C-alpha cells in the first residue's frame, strides 16, 4: 500500500489518535489556524501526515461539531437529500450544521439504509407475493403475480405484470433507494444483457431531473458507473466460482425512470441515445407508441426483470 507524498518523507504515526495528539492539534490550529495542512504536523509537533491532521480536525476536533445521535428531523433530511443527490455526502452534510460528510455517510450505511430496506421488504412481502399486499391502497390482484416483475426503483414505482400481458403501475410509498441491486431478492436479480440508457448524464428540463438523479444514485450504489448515456455495472458483484464477473452494459427501460416520455425498445432495439434531444428527435421521426410499453414487450426484450 502506498502512502501519500506528504507521509512518505518521514515516519508517521497511524491509527487512532491519542488524547495527547488531539491536544497538540487543537492547540496549534486554535492559535495559528491550519494554513497549509502539510506543514501542520511539523509545526504542531505531531508525527502524523498532513492529511491525517486535516481529517482529524474536520471530523472530530472542530469546535462547531454537533455530537450525539441524529435527530428524526436530521434523518428525514438526509433521506430526502440522498434521494435528490445520491452519495454526495459532502453536499448532504452542508445542509446539516455540525455534521460531517463522514458522519452522514456512516449514519446512512449503518442505520438508514437498513431501515429503508427493511421497510421496503416488509411492505412488499418479498419474495412470496402470494397474497394481496395493501400498499398505499392501490395494489390489487397480486395473486395473479407470476413471480417476476418489472421493478422501477425510482420513486418507488413497481410494474406488476398482469395475466393479459399488460402491466400495472404501482406507486410505493417508499424512498427511491429503499432497495438496490445488492440487496434485492435473488429472483429479482437482473437477467438483462445489453441495454442503453436513453437519458442524458446531465438531465435537461425535458426530464424530471430529480427522478433521474435518484435513479443514478441507485445505480451508483450498486457498483455501477453511469456515463454518456450508458450504464456499466457488475450487478452480481465479486467473484463467482473463482472467476470475476464481467462488467456489463445496460440500457434501462423507461419504466425505471418513470419518464413521461415512453421509449419503445422494440422499435429501437439497438439504439443508443445519448441525450434527451436525441431521444425526442427519434420519437418525433417515428410515431410514438400508443400506450406505455407492456410487460410482454419487456419480456420479448433481453430484460424480463429489472430492479
Binding stretches for DNA (CB under 7 A): 1-7, 13-17, 34-39, 48, 50-52, 54-56, 59-60, 87-91, 101-103, 105-107, 109-111, 114, 220-221, 223
**Do residues 288 and 262 touch, judged by C-beta distance below 8 A?**
yes
Q: Nearest distance from residue 172's CB to DNA, in Å?
A: 24
Q: Please state the closest distance from residue 280 (CB atom) to DNA, in A.
A: 28
Q: Which residue lies nearer to DNA by CB, 67 or 137?
A: 67
Residue ranges of alpha helices (H) inside the chain are 5-8, 19-32, 40-44, 50-56, 72-85, 89-94, 101-107, 113-124, 209-221, 254-257, 276-285, 295-300
Of 84 and 129, the one with the shorter C-beta distance to DNA is: 84
Pick 14 or 32: Cβ nearer DNA: 14
CB of 80 to DNA, least distance (A): 16
The distance of closest approach from Cβ of residue 115 to DNA in the complex, given in angstroms and rounded to an integer, is 9
Cβ nearer to DNA, comparing 15 with 63 = 15
Helices H, strands E: what count in the chain? 12, 8
Residue in 212, 211, 213, 251 with CA at minimum distance from that of residue 231: 251
We find the least distance from the C-beta atom of residue 77 to DNA, in angstroms, to be 16
Nearer to DNA, 106 or 128 (CB): 106
Grid coordinates belonging to 238: 465479486
- Backbone torsions φ then ψ of 231, nearest 5 degrees: -110, 125
- Helix 72-85 to helix 209-221 angle (10° resolution) is 100
Nearer to DNA, 137 or 238 (CB): 238
CB contact at 8 A, 238 and 247: no
Angle, CA 154 vertex, CA 150 and CA 159 arms, to 5°: 25
Kindly state the smallest distance separating residue 82's Cβ from DNA, in Å: 10
- What is the grid cell recorded at 223? 457498483
**Strand duo 243-244 + 239-240: pairing:** antiparallel
* For DNA, the closer CB: 177 or 251: 177
Smallest distance, DNA to C-beta of residue 199, A = 20
Which residue is it, cell 398505499? 136
Q: Which of 269, 137, 257, 135 is nearest to 208 (CA)?
A: 257
Amino acid at each position: 500500500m502506498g502512502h501519500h507524498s506528504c507521509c512518505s518523507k518521514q515516519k508517521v504515526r497511524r491509527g487512532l489518535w491519542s488524547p495527547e495528539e488531539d491536544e497538540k492539534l487543537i492547540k496549534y490550529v486554535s492559535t495559528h489556524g491550519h494554513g497549509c495542512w502539510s506543514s501542520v504536523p511539523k509545526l504542531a509537533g505531531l508525527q502524523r501526515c498532513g492529511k491525517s491532521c486535516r481529517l482529524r480536525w474536520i471530523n472530530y476536533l472542530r469546535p462547531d461539531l454537533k455530537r450525539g445521535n441524529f435527530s428524526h428531523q436530521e434523518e428525514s433530511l438526509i433521506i430526502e437529500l440522498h434521494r435528490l443527490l445520491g452519495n454526495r455526502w459532502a453536499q448532504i452534510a452542508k445542509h446539516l450544521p455540525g455534521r460531517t460528510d463522514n458522519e452522514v455517510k456512516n449514519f446512512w450505511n449503518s442505520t438508514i439504509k437498513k431501515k429503508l430496506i427493511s421497510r421496503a421488504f416488509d411492505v412488499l412481502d418479498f419474495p412470496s407475493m402470494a397474497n394481496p399486499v395493501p400498499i398505499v391502497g392501490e395494489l390489487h390482484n397480486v395473486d395473479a403475480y407470476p413471480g417476476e416483475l418489472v421493478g422501477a426503483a425510482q420513486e418507488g414505482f413497481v410494474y406488476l405484470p398482469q395475466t393479459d400481458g399488460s402491466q400495472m403501475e404501482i406507486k410505493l410509498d417508499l424512498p427511491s433507494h429503499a432497495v438496490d441491486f445488492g440487496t434485492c431478492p435473488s429472483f429479482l436479480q437482473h437477467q438483462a444483457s445489453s441495454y442503453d440508457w436513453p437519458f442524458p448524464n446531465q438531465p435537461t428540463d425535458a426530464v424530471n431531473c430529480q427522478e433521474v438523479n435518484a435513479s443514478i444514485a441507485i445505480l451508483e450504489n450498486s457498483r455501477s458507473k453511469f456515463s454518456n448515456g450508458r450504464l456499466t455495472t457488475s450487478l452480481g458483484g465479486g467473484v463467482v466460482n473463482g472467476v470475476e464477473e464481467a462488467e456489463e452494459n445496460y440500457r434501462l427501460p423507461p419504466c425505471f425512470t418513470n419518464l413521461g416520455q415512453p421509449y419503445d425498445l422494440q422499435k429501437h432495439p439497438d439504439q443508443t441515445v445519448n441525450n434527451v434531444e436525441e431521444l425526442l428527435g427519434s420519437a418525433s421521426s417515428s410515431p410514438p407508441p400508443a400506450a406505455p410499453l407492456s410487460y410482454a414487450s419487456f419480456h420479448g426484450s433481453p430484460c424480463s426483470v429489472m430492479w
